Amino acid sequence: MDNFIITLLLYVVGRSQQILIFEIGSFVTALLSILLIKRGSSALKAMWFPIFFLLFMIPLPGTFVSLLTMPMKMAVSYVAENILFWANYPIARNGVILQIGQYQLLVADACAGLQTLLTLEALGLFYLNLVHHTSVFRNVALAILIIPISFTANVIRVIVLTLITFHYGDAAGQGFLHGFAGMVLFLSALLLILGVDTLLQFFIKKQPMNVSQLAAAK
């Protein structure tokens, strides 16, 4: 009951002072409190993943987001530039601005920001919950590898937008195909998650064989 009262106070403070992290976060803590009061710890154990998944809807502080977003955009811009340069495209970079041919593209927060990373991380964790792997190593490894997978998917999106703009003009890059590149982002992330998961499965299956071979050698 004390937790529920604290949650209500948190919501009042967040609502009155327009602090979204308090206002939205109080919904998660309220759900936790109600489950504990009505059903006990057993219900909390059964519902841990849906409640944990709700944490992704809590907005992070703007200062924290800005602090991490710029280095991420710089890294995505750098990798995209080098890949397209290696592919013999006339591209140059100034910070997070890509110059390809006569066109300039700004790598925005939506293309390579922290919020995109968190969205893809949520997608990967949702996938893990659906497949229900019994291997702890496989679950932990895939959850960690989702971070570089998300970065790779962001690079793919920026490259796709850059190529669309270069070949079809600025109007095409900012129109319907811009939204299509967003679908490419999540599709490529999902394919990469499936591919990495398959490799982890192959690695886990090979481990017992290696152990038995060592035993036979001894």
Strands 103-106 and 91-94: unpaired
153, 192 Cβ separation under 8 angstroms: yes
Q: What is the dihedral of CA 171, 100, 157, 169, to 10 degrees?
A: 20
pLDDT digits (tens, 9 = 90+) for 126-144: 888 888 777 788 888 888 8
Indicate whether 156 and 48 sit together in one domain.
Answer: no
Q: What is the mean pLDDT of residues 97-117?
A: 76
Residues 94 and 176 in one domain: yes
Residues 14, 120 within the same domain: no
Q: Which of 59, 79, 101 is the last residue of a domain?
A: 59
Which one-letter amino acid corresponds to residue 157?
A: R
Active-site residue, 15 included: no
**47 and 93 assigned to the same domain:** no
9-35: pLDDT as tens digits? 888 888 888 788 888 888 888 888 888
What residue numbers bound the domain in which 138 lies? 66-217
Residue 106: its H or E element: strand 103-106
pLDDT at 42: 80
Task: Give the residue among 218, 153, 139 at the shortest CA–CA distance from 184.
Answer: 153
**Same-domain pairing of 39 and 118:** no
1, pLDDT greater than 70? no
Residues 206 and 117 in one domain: yes
Would the pLDDT of 122 be above 90? no
Tell me whether residue 157 is one of the annotated catalytic residues. yes
Looking at 15, 39, 93, 111, which residue is catalytic? Answer: 111
pLDDT at 213: 45
SS3 139: helix
Most confident of 52-66, 73-87, 127-141: 73-87
Residues 80 and 39 in one domain: no
- The domain total for the chain is 2
